[in-house]
Amino acid sequence: MTAKRGVLFDVDGTLVDTTYLHAVAWWEVLRQHDRDVPMAEIHRGIGMGSDRLLDHLLGEDRDKSDDETMSSAHDVLYGAWWERLRPLPGAADLLRACADRGLAVVLASSAKAPELKQLRRVIGADEVITAATSSADAEESKPAPDILQAALEQSGVDPQQAVFVGDAVWDVKAAGKLGIPCIGLTCGGTSAAELLDAGAVETYENPAALLAALEESAIQKLIA
């Protein structure tokens, strides 16, 4: 497969407005297991896989016998919102604009396959998506770079000709491990300062704001 230029996109909190729903679902699950974790702490961990998130919130040196039960309970609670999920402003238009400029559009998602199918429905731009990953494609979740590596391999995108767009510190760190520039979006609730401190090359409010500034963004450098 010939290497090509492309833009990799995180999905949750970047293209679809899910971050706080995940946080609420995890908050409820933790409360059910007598774990009183402040919502703000949970929010800051969203973007990790469930295994890393629970270690992050509860500590690695703990009884992990309930982890699988808690992860499944989160999926059930979050799944109740699936039919009401909304794309973030400009999500589909941004993907189409990248494709119109000859760039591969790749979803680097860690969502499970059924959830990813729903997220793609919400975005509504399947006709321009070159490839999309799910949790089954990565051995380790972000901030490990596994899901980005899988996205590159599935799409044939050259890592030296790629940009990643994400909303969490964990997205920025994962991209950094592969030397891929990361554009941070604040629509997932993480501030521009936090994203820049983690290594983001630039930040925008949401997909619509990035689209409006596309010609001045790091994405344009792939085209020039």
Above 70 in pLDDT, residue 1? no
pLDDT, average across residues 177-198:
98
What's the predicted TM-score (pTM) here? 0.95
What pLDDT, on the 0 to 100 scale, is given for residue 2?
58
Which helix (H) or strand (E) segment holds residue 196: the answer is helix 192-198
Residues 6+ apart with CB under 8 A from 116: 11, 107, 109, 132, 134
3-class SS at 130? Answer: strand
* pLDDT tens per residue across span 36-53: 999 999 999 999 888 789
**Structure confidence at residue 179 as a pLDDT band (50, 70, 90):** very high
3-class SS at 200? Answer: coil
* pLDDT tens per residue across span 79-120: 999 999 999 999 999 999 999 999 999 999 999 999 999 999
The structure tokens listed for 47 are 């973007």
User: Where in the chain are all domains bearing CATH 3.40.50.1000?
Assistant: 4-18+85-223
User: Where in the chain are all domains bearing CATH 1.10.150.240?
Assistant: 19-83
What pLDDT, on the 0 to 100 scale, is given for residue 92?
98
Above 90 in pLDDT, residue 130? yes
Q: CATH for 19-83?
A: 1.10.150.240
Q: What homologous superfamily is domain 4-18+85-223 in, according to CATH?
A: HAD superfamily/HAD-like (3.40.50.1000)
Rg (CA), the chain: 17
